[in-house]
Structure 1
Amino acid sequence: MLDATRQLAVVTGASTGIGLQLARQCAEHGFDLIIAANEPEIEKAAEELRIGSSSVETVQADLATIEGNEALFRKIGGRPVAALLANAGRGLGKAFLDQDFDDIRYVIDTNVTGTVYLVHKIGRDMRARGEGKILITGSIAGYMPGAYQAIYNGTKAFIDSFSYALREELKDSGVTVTCLMPGPTETEFFERADLMDTKVGTQAKDSPLDVAKDGFRAMMAGDGGVVSGWQNKMQAAIANVVPSETLAHQHTKMAKPGTAETKR
């Protein structure tokens, strides 16, 4: 059971990758944890995270659905959430018109609907208490039109914008909102998104541990956002001045099927 005297962090998408590393940062800094994902690997993650005096409880639920998010909310059981790390997300490669619409809908529901619903539920409780920290995983993908990843990049553009808007609304409430914006990171994301025949899927990527450390530090400091990695910072800065049509063309070179780099 969770210790009622310790602060509670809730981390979604925590079975692998950035989410697992974010949960590890929370555990190492003295939070009790509720971690959630839609796959049984969440139990293995919990075993890895039970370090020191941290308690870890799990929820295996589909966070693309209202029902899945309600299951997570029931697990919280009214306990004050000190930190919500909303990291659950899905990608989808290939051309938009070649994608199955059920897959398209699932990406939107995971990245946008489920995230917004959970932030709405927990954020209201934080505002009522006058304290809390929210970290939302966006992406530098939100800065550019994502040819051959049109739905994913579109959802991240929403999340990046939403995070900063919510931060402004809560600026005098005691609740801070931070947007973590990584670039390509070494996780299972690219395989799940069917991007392993692309340049972005096969090139060298950032460490999820480094990304998580950047995000956790920014959240604890109450920063508005952090782009993880200096190359990604450069790419985000360039995206602010380059025409959208040019950005979409550049993205094609990274994400179009058949652009995978040959490994020597």
Structure 2
Amino acid sequence: MTDLQTPNPKTALVTGGSSGIGLELARCFAKAHRRVIIVGKDEAKLARAADDLRGSGAHEVIAWSIDLAGEDGGARLFARAQEHGEAIDYLALNAGSGAWGKFIGETDWKLELEGIQVNNISVVQAAKLFIPAMVQRGEGRVLITSSVVALGPSAKLAVYSATKAFLYAFAEALREELLGTGVSVTALMPDLTQSDFFARAKVDPDSITAKEPKADPAHVAEIGYEAMMKGRDHVVAPHLSAAKMAAASLLPTWLTTKFARAE
């Protein structure tokens, strides 16, 4: 019997679910007939994404407009779930923010701080609050979107790449702590992927970063979704980028930083 036929289908919550990888992750859950909750800041984009997802087979699609920046973004997310009595079976912590440019003299501190708050603080806080109920039930899947830059710090994306390295380390350590509980944690490591991140981060359209070929977010999401459902520890997407990440892990940091220079 599928979730579409059961009175209490499992629920997936996806942050950053109004566009890019997040929207495509939500679509993967929708196609599996889950209840899907997408979270984002822009109400108009969320509404359009929800309408789009309703045609993908979801049992139900719910859109929550929540700003994950600030010191309590994860707590606001959890409070909304508690308010609506939502038990989350699949937690995809995918929302991301960043700033492009030289750390000294070019980037906006407010945008960098928002990146730390959204990428790190809200993720850790949400994990702290949502996962205990999963452990109590003895089942659950968590996906944390890191990046291939976790192992290759990028000049002009100094703070962003550092936040992604934090997420990778956090996901791997949390996974180890949760072994035997029925709850798995998977780190999704996308390479450059087509999304509105580049515009929001104010990436120079003439830079190598802007001009380099980018992966299809639907393909990246499918790889991440499959790895999450299998309970894998991490996955690189697209798969061809795995060689890049493997090489980065063998090289000294100063060299990978030069290779990853985002000019």
Structure 1 counterpart of 2:191: 183
Structure 1 position 17 matched with structure 2 position 17: no
Runs of 4+ in 1 over 6 A off after TM superposition: none
Compare 58-67 and 108-117 and name the one that shifted more: 58-67
Counterpart amino acid of 1:9?
A
Structure 1 position 48 matched with structure 2 position 48: no
Deviations 1:128-160 (A, max 9, x none): 211100011010010112111100000000000
Counterpart amino acid of 1:37?
G
Structure 2 counterpart of 1:248: 257
Instruction: Please report how far the alpha carbon of residue 223 of structure 1 lies from its aligned counterpart in structure 2 after TM superposition.
Output: 0.7
Instruction: Please report how far the alpha carbon of residue 111 of structure 1 lies from its aligned counterpart in structure 2 after TM superposition.
Output: 0.4
Query: How large is the RMSD of aligned CA atoms in angstroms?
Result: 1.6
Instruction: Please report how far the alpha carbon of residue 4 of structure 1 lies from its aligned counterpart in structure 2 after TM superposition.
Output: 5.7
Structure 1 position 225 matched with structure 2 position 254: no
Between the aligned partners of 1:202 and 1:120, the Cα distance in structure 2 is 38
Contact 1:62 1:69 in 2 (8 A): no
Structure 1 position 150 matched with structure 2 position 154: no
Contact 2:140 2:183 in 1 (8 A): yes
Counterpart amino acid of 1:202?
K
TM-score of the pair, normalised by structure 1 = 0.91
Structure 1 position 198 matched with structure 2 position 212: no
Structure 2 counterpart of 1:259: none
Between the aligned partners of 1:184 and 1:35, the Cα distance in structure 2 is 23
Deviations 1:50-74 (A, max 9, x none): 1335211111111123554334323
Counterpart amino acid of 1:163?
A
After TM superposition, the structure 1 = structure 2 runs for residues 169-180 of structure 1, keeping only pairs within 5 Å, are 169-180=177-188
Structure 1 position 35 matched with structure 2 position 38: yes
Structure 1 position 96 matched with structure 2 position 99: no
TM-score of the pair, normalised by structure 2 = 0.92
After TM superposition, the structure 1 = structure 2 runs for residues 53-202 of structure 1, keeping only pairs within 5 Å, are 54-77=59-82, 78-98=85-105, 99-195=107-203, 196-202=205-211
Pair 53,193 (structure 1): closer, same or farther in 2 beyond 3 Å: closer
Compare 89-98 and 72-81 and name the one that shifted more: 72-81
User: Residue 119 of structure 1 aligns to a residue in which SS?
Assistant: helix
Structure 2 counterpart of 1:261: none
Pair 245,106 (structure 1): closer, same or farther in 2 beyond 3 Å: same
Aligned-residue identity in percent = 36
Contact 1:34 1:76 in 2 (8 A): no
Instruction: Please report how far the alpha carbon of residue 249 of structure 1 lies from its aligned counterpart in structure 2 after TM superposition.
Output: 1.6
User: Residue 163 of structure 2 aligns to a residue in which SS?
Assistant: helix
Between the aligned partners of 1:210 and 1:219, the Cα distance in structure 2 is 14
Count of aligned positions: 253
Between the aligned partners of 2:9 and 2:129, the Cα distance in structure 1 is 21
Structure 2 counterpart of 1:26: 29
